[in-house]
């Protein structure tokens, strides 16, 4: 009985920050876990253009690193193939100068070589918090995209009730849009179904690998970032990002979000650093943004 009670307490500590009645009752006492913005249009730590450029740079590096597996896509896009061949030539010249041969890097190595850091999941430094996310290598400057929040994107009226039961991984955007970042159970099945629905021939419109222990996009671990506390102040903050229509189709295979209704724009949530973060530090966020 005592063990069951401890488990219930642990689950409640994780879930309560997404439970609206709890928030309403505890708003004043929990100001440090909340981020206030005067209006939703000002909910930007960095510009959308900077987010776009970071994702583009990272995804291009992942694409080139896995170039031999992109033959079907490149056969349909000859102009794009020429551009990537030029980038690949430059990359190979760098590799040869480092005497690394034709080594294919891991996604974490690609992230480090591109942005100067790696992030990964590990046991949280918070007692009873379970899994957390750490900067495992390198240095992350203030105002950097350090992670992405993966999952299925739902509008307010769309069916998410059964997926939400016992699910601590549902992120609520300012406009009420929800992102289900659970990689297990019904949530996992819905994401995979929508992802395969949207696939166009060899073009994958989203990344399914975040559902596994080895995501091909190493940034797609944001759902495991723990909420800050009085002892652990937030060092990252959520920011919403509308993926533009001109996002390169060959790079959409690395986007860890899918929309439940395919007729709406793709939306993503990213995590941006609020200060410089050193190697070995755990990431802590604000689960809620309160719009005045």
Chain center to CA of 90? 29
Query: What is the β-pairing status of strands 284-285 and 226-227?
Result: parallel
**Radius of gyration in angstroms for the set of CA atoms belonging to the chain, rounded to a whole number:** 20
Report the range of poorest mean pLDDT among 21-25, 142-146, 203-207: 21-25
Q: How would you classify residue 95: left for phi > 0, otherwise alpha for psi between -120 and 50, otherwise beta?
A: alpha
- For 217-258, the pLDDT digits (tens) are 999 999 999 988 888 899 999 999 999 989 999 999 999 999
Distances (CA, A) of 109 to 61, 95, 232, 239: 10, 13, 28, 25
- For 125-135, the pLDDT digits (tens) are 988 788 999 99
| Residue 35 confidence class, pLDDT cut points 50, 70, 90 | very low
Which residues, including other chains, have CB under 8 Å from residue 285's CB and lie 6 or more apart?
A: 225, 226, 227, 228, 234, 236, 237, 238, 271
Closest Cα partner for 182 from 172, 173, 191? 191
Q: Residue 168 carries which DSSP code?
A: T
| Pairwise CA distance, residues 221 & 19, whole Å | 22
| Pairwise CA distance, residues 230 & 143, whole Å | 23
| Pairwise CA distance, residues 193 & 174, whole Å | 26
**Which of 28-42, 83-97, 153-167 has the highest mean predicted lDDT (pLDDT)?**
153-167
Q: Residue 3 carries which DSSP code?
A: H
Domains and CATH numbers, the chain: 47-291 (2.170.270.10)
Report the range of poorest mean pLDDT among 14-18, 49-53, 162-166: 14-18
- For 270-288, the pLDDT digits (tens) are 999 999 999 999 999 976 5
């Amino acid at each position: 009985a005592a063990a069951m009670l401890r488990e219930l307490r642990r689950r409640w500590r994780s879930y309560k920050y997404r439970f609206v009645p709890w928030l309403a009752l505890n708003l004043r006492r929990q100001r440090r876990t909340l981020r206030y913005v005067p209006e939703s249009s000002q909910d930007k730590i960095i510009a959308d253009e900077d987010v776009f450029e970071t994702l583009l740079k990272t995804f291009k590096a992942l694409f080139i690193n896995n170039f031999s597996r992109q033959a079907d896509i490149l056969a349909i896009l000859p102009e794009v193939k020429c551009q990537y061949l030029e980038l690949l030539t430059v990359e190979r010249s760098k590799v040869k100068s480092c005497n690394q041969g034709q080594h294919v890097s891991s996604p974490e190595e690609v992230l480090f070589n591109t942005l100067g850091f790696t992030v990964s999941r590990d046991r949280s430094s918070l007692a009873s918090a379970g899994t957390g996310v750490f900067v495992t290598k390198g240095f992350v400057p203030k105002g950097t995209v350090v992670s992405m929040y993966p999952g299925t994107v739902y509008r307010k009226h769309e069916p998410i009730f059964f997926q939400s039961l016992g699910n601590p991984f549902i992120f609520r955007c300012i406009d009420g849009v929800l992102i289900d970042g659970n990689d297990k159970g019904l949530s996992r099945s819905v994401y995979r179904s929508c992802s395969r629905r949207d696939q166009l021939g060899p073009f994958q419109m989203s990344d399914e690998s975040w559902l596994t222990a080895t995501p091909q996009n190493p940034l797609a671990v944001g759902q495991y970032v723990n909420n800050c506390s009085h002892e652990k102040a937030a060092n990252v903050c959520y920011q919403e990002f509308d993926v533009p229509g001109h996002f390169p189709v060959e790079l959409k295979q690395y986007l860890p979000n899918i929309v439940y209704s395919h007729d709406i724009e793709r939306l993503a949530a990213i995590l941006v650093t609020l200060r410089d973060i050193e190697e070995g530090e755990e990431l802590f966020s604000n689960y809620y943004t309160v719009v005045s």
